[in-house]
Amino acid sequence: MRGISDDIRFKIKPRDLLKELSLNEQTIDLNFDDIPNSFYQELLEQLLERDYLNYTSDKVFIYDDTKPKKTIHWLQMTRLPIHPNEHEKYDLLSRWQGVLSSLHAWGYRFLFLLLRNGGQTKLFIGAASSKQGISAEEAIEQMREAAFGSMPGMGLNTLSKVETVDEIRVPLNKLNHIGAVTGIPSFRSDEQKGMLQTLDQLAFGIRDAYGTEKDYAMLVIADPIQDSDITDMISRYRRLGSEIHTGVKLMTGQSLNRGETSQEDAKLAAGVGIIGSIIGAIGGSFLGSTFLGEQVGKTIGTYLGASVGGQAGGMFGREHTVNVGGSASTNTEYLDKFAEYAETATDHHVKRLNEGRNLGFWNTGVYVLGTVPRDVVTVTGMLRSVYSGDETYFEPIRLHLFRPNSNAKEIVRDRFELLPMYEESLPTSGKIQQQTTIDHDNWHILGKSYQYLSTPINTKELSLATSLPRRDVPGLRFVKTAIRFANNPSPVKGDKITIGNIVDMGIIQNNTYDIDVDSLVRHTLVAGATGSGKSTTCKRILTEVMKRDIPVMVIEPAKDDYVRWAINMNKNLPEEKQFKIFMPGADDFDGTPIEKLCINPFEPAAFKGAKVDLLQHSEYFSVLLNACLPSEDVVPILMEEVVYETIREVAIERNIPFEDELVKPLHDYPTVDSMLIKAKEIMRTKTYADRNKDNLTEVLMTRFKTLKRGMRGRILNVYKSTDYNMLFSNNVIINLSRLAGTKDKSLIMSLLMQALYEYRQSCYAVDDNYRKLAQQNKLLHLMLVEEAHNVLLKPIGNQTSGNPQRAAADLFDSMLSDVRAYGQGLVVVDQVPTRLIEGATKNTNYKIVHRLSAPDDQEMMASCMAFRDDQKYMIPTLEQGHAIICGDRDDAAVWVKIPAPGQTVL
């Protein structure tokens, strides 16, 4: 506020009453020199912006080693959840605020420690109870519960006493220089969810010019402020704002009247008197003479205390009135910008305190420790860049570096206490003088929370002060698990198989995911990359099914994983339940005898005593043959004719009505050699040109001869197939890994699938008990097909009816739909689900997806499992043994951890 010394002259020109007024005699001098013209500036800077904190770095703090230390327990953060695809949009900040708010509600002192040691970053959170009857152990467990509740997927390890010493105490004791950061952190409006206002850079570490890693620590100590104290602070700010408001604007006025009366009045504004007495008294008694030092103390203590506190007789204005029988007046308004801004500041702090009543308010100290002062200065500067936001100017971020003998290190590092704002002065001689007698309990106008080298802030601001990193750093793992799936699948009634434990955002829960064993009759699709855990899931299903005396069969086209598993299982199985292992090309496996697999492609599979459909079987075989030995033009038709005539001729020779729907099985069936003979006979009857006839004959002979060569010939060119009753009524492993070509594997697997389908049809037709159970949708047999694309391959290229791949796909699609009615369940397993026919997804009840890396595979599985848009991004990040499962009775997909062999469900 400026003094007014210029003359104020009214040039009044009344037309009637004021004609006789002498304006030269009406000069009035309004002098405000007696009023302190920096009063509100000092109020703003010292009380609201806490400018006195600029003079704390050279002080010596009281270290009371007789005071008992609070017991603190620590948790180490080992992992933080992020969204697998849109991690920048994942609101980690709000979740962290939820954790802090819970701790405030319980009244726990909160400690946050970012420790950089040996190139590793470690995050710790600690708690100490300030309530009687609640131990530190209880406090830390409640902190863990709060963290898991607000941030599912966070990894927290409780530190033992020994671990606390090794992980925290020992590294901190190497850091002998300390500084602090004060001021109110605030967010920048242009940063989305505080993405750039995080401790990422601090967590990455700092290096010197030679690339040497620096060790340092950032320690945040936050004491919860109770609601009654928050209310008291709000009341103090409001009263202060009310008093300030009276000094924001001053009015001076002048009027001229005809008459001889004159009057002078002197008034002192009540607001300034009250504020002056309060601030002057506190500033003069403590802030000036005791804490802030001579220079600032003189300014506040002498000036505010004497000038304001004692100027009860000062004047804000003077009036001089002359009555002239008429009047003319003018008013001048004087605006004190310092007072106006001080009023704005009090309103802002009231708003912050009200937000603190919602989520919590804390007395927070931010301290930095380092091996050398330069490191402390560097880290505090980095924190300033993080904390400075749009509204930080209300109390600016200040950096402090304390002298080695200030006792700050002992108070903060050793006791984990806030630095008190009363101190012992250190004279030039270096000896500590006696402490000035002060009322330590209550000396600050705004309350006890302002009597520490700390900053009272609300939970929102504290979440920024302790803003968690958002990037992978050495020592802290970020896991892409911040996606929620269903936690309450549909309950299973009756006999159930427990697949594993439900997982919520990476945290394994105690509740389990179960499936009805009979629901497997509606088939299952298992997809996942190599090493993702498919085999573990499948073996668990097979084991549980076998426990219910339901036979299983596994067709394994590659590797020998299931062979080894079966051999190991046989050691603990009774003889009648042991696996029968077929592995063409091997007589034994690691000393275990291997059964011989024989499949006569002309022999239908049938239950003992059941009739067979030779015509239908020959048509199936023709379709499979053309799919596995693709040809063009007329060749597929000729191949089908050869197959038909070969079996028809044998049936006629044995007086079997080939065209009838069901006939008795033949004692012996034609072989591949029979097809070669029949092919020549048929081609001789054709009327093609000789050259074309010769070419077609050679094509047919070449294709049929491939069925005789090598390993496939040993399997297919036989008179009698392996007993189908034994094959489909026992636990069986068929390993085709020693077959060289994928087409050979496809043909054998296709013939086995065809045989299974025919066998279940005959069981259903002949066995009354079997049919009764099948009609009740009971699971009577389970076949697992690995590398299922060998038999369920989606057709490519020409999609017309003449495409043999399309015909085979339609055949197996129909099998998937029909075979369930006969009590047969299928488990379709593949690494690339997009290669499979549509029936593999549409005609399967359970879909189990492990980790997949290809985007098209992810999209397909997400679509058939009714994922939300964000859930599909979880598929490529699944850990080994984790899967997402969805059945037709589930409301939504469920994330499940399947235990490894030998492990049990939690």
Query: Got the DSSP string for 659-670?
Result: TSSSBPPPSS--
Confidence at residue 558, expressed as pLDDT on a 0 to 100 scale: 87
Look at residue 161 and tell me whether its pLDDT is greater than 50: yes
What local confidence, expressed as pLDDT, does residue 12 receive?
35
How far is Cα 554 from Cα 782, in angstroms, rounded to an integer?
9
Best-predicted range by mean pLDDT (60-64, 269-273, 705-709, 857-861) = 857-861
Q: Give me the mean pLDDT over the 700-707 stretch.
A: 90
pLDDT (tens digit per residue) in 742-794: 888 888 988 999 999 999 999 999 999 999 999 999 999 999 999 888 888 88
The two tokens of residue 673 are: 């050699």
Q: Measure the CA–CA gap between 791 and 182, rounded to whole angstroms.
A: 70
Asked whether the predicted pLDDT for residue 352 surpasses 90, the reply is: yes
CA distance 82 to 501: 22
- The whole-chain average pLDDT of the chain stands at 82
DSSP 876: G
- Determine contact, residues 892/884, Cβ cutoff 8 Å: no
Contact yes or no for 662/611 (Cβ under 8 A) = yes
Higher per-residue pLDDT: 663 or 10: 663
pLDDT at position 495 over 50: yes
Structure tokens at 525: 């699709």
Q: Does residue 750 contact residue 791 with C-beta atoms inside 8 Å? A: yes
Residue 458 bridge partners (DSSP): 361
Look at residues 300, 246, 245, 250 and name the one whose alpha carbon lies nearest to residue 445.
300
Contacts of 904 (CB under 8 A, 6+ apart): none
Residues ≥6 apart with Cβ < 8 Å to 585:
711, 738, 739
Confidence (pLDDT) at 662: 87
Structure tokens at 151: 């941030």
- pLDDT at residue 329, as a whole number: 64
Q: What is the pLDDT of residue 305?
A: 38
- Which pLDDT band, with edges at 50, 70 and 90, does 422 fall under? low
Q: Provide the strand spans (E) within 59-119.
A: 60-61, 73-81, 108-117
Ranges for all domains in the chain classified under CATH 3.40.462: 70-229+348-419+454-465
pLDDT above 50: residue 7: no
Q: Give me the half-sphere count of Cα atoms (radius 13 Å) on the Cβ side of residue 811.
A: 28
> What is the spatial distance between Cα 759 and Cα 765, in angstroms, rounded to a whole number?
10
491 torsion bin: left (phi>0), alpha (psi -120 to 50), beta (else)? beta
Nearest to 116 by CA among 202, 211, 212, 200: 202
- Predicted pLDDT at 307: 37
Q: What is the pLDDT of residue 147?
A: 86
DSSP symbol at 442: S
The reply to whether CATH 3.40.462 applies to domain 70-229+348-419+454-465 is yes
- Model confidence over 294-312: pLDDT tens digits? 433 433 343 333 333 333 3
Nearest-angstrom CA–CA distance, 618 and 640: 8
Mean of pLDDT values over 862-876: 91
Q: Print burial letters for 473-494: b (CB count within 10 Å at least 16), e (below 16).
A: bebbebbbbbbbbbeebeebee
Q: What is the pLDDT of residues 564-618, one digit of tens each?
A: 999 999 999 999 999 999 999 999 998 899 999 999 999 999 998 899 999 999 9
Query: What does the alpha-carbon distance between residue 840 and residue 844 come to, in Å, rounded to a whole number?
Result: 6
- In the chain, what percentage of residues exceed pLDDT 90? 46
Residue 311's contacts (CB-CB under 8 Å, 6 or more residues apart) are: 34, 36, 268, 276
The answer to whether 423 touches 61, Cβ cutoff 8 Å, is yes
The full 3-state SS of 710-746, as one line of letters, equals HHHHHHHCCCCCCCHHHHCCCCEEEECCCCCCHHHHH
User: Mean pLDDT across the stretch 208-213?
Assistant: 83
Residue 13 has pLDDT above 70, yes or no: no
Checking DSSP bridges between strand 120-129 and strand 60-61, what pairing results, if any? unpaired
The CA-CA-CA angle for residues 711, 717, 718, to 5°, reads 115
pLDDT for position 418: 94
Q: Rounded to an integer, what distance in angstroms lies between the CA atom of residue 896 and that of residue 529?
A: 17
pLDDT of residue 477: 83
Residues 6+ apart with CB under 8 A from 59: 291, 402, 406, 423, 425, 426
Q: Percent helix, strand and coil across the chain, each rounded to 5?
A: 40, 20, 40
Task: Name the pTM for this structure.
Answer: 0.74
Find the mean pLDDT for residues 539-565: 95
Give pLDDT, residue 254. 61
H-run or E-run covering 524:
strand 524-527
Amino acid occupying residue 666: L
Residue 899 has phi, psi (to 5 degrees) of -65, 145
The set of residues, in sequence order, having a beta carbon less than 8 Å from that of 622 and lying 6+ positions away, is: 639, 640, 643, 644
Which helix (H) or strand (E) segment holds residue 122: the answer is strand 120-129
| Per-residue pLDDT at 847 exceeds 90 | yes
Burial label for 260, CB within 10 Å (0-12, 13-18, 19+), is exposed
Report the alpha-carbon distance of residue 806 to residue 802 in Å, rounded. Answer: 8
The per-residue pLDDT for range 892-901, each reduced to its tens digit, is 999 999 998 7
Q: Cα separations (Å) of 646 from 606, 614, 624, 812?
A: 20, 11, 16, 24
**For the chain, how far is it from start to end, CA to CA, in angstroms?**
74
Q: Which value, to the nearest 10 degrees, does the dihedral of the CA atoms of residues 163, 167, 169, 175 take? A: 170
Q: DSSP string of 19-70?
A: TT--GGG--B----TTS-TTHHHHIIIIIIS-GGGGG-TT-EE---TTSPPP
Residue ranges of alpha helices (H) inside 107-247 are 136-150, 161-164, 170-173, 200-204, 227-245
Lowest mean pLDDT: which of 262-266, 515-519, 540-544?
Answer: 262-266
Bridge partners for 220 per DSSP: 112, 366
Furthest-apart CA atoms within the chain: distance in Å: 152
The C-alpha atoms of residue 368 and residue 279 are separated, in whole angstroms, by 32
DSSP secondary structure string for all residues of 285-323 = IIIIIIII-HHHHIIIIIIIIIIITT-TT--S-----EE
Residue 380 tokens, joined: 């505090």
Check if the beta carbon of residue 651 is closer than 8 Å to that of residue 662.
no
pLDDT of residue 253: 63
Half-sphere exposure of 178 toward its Cβ, with a 13 Å CA cutoff?
Answer: 26
Whether residue 150 has pLDDT greater than 70:
yes
Q: How far apart are CA 113 and CA 123, in angstroms?
A: 6
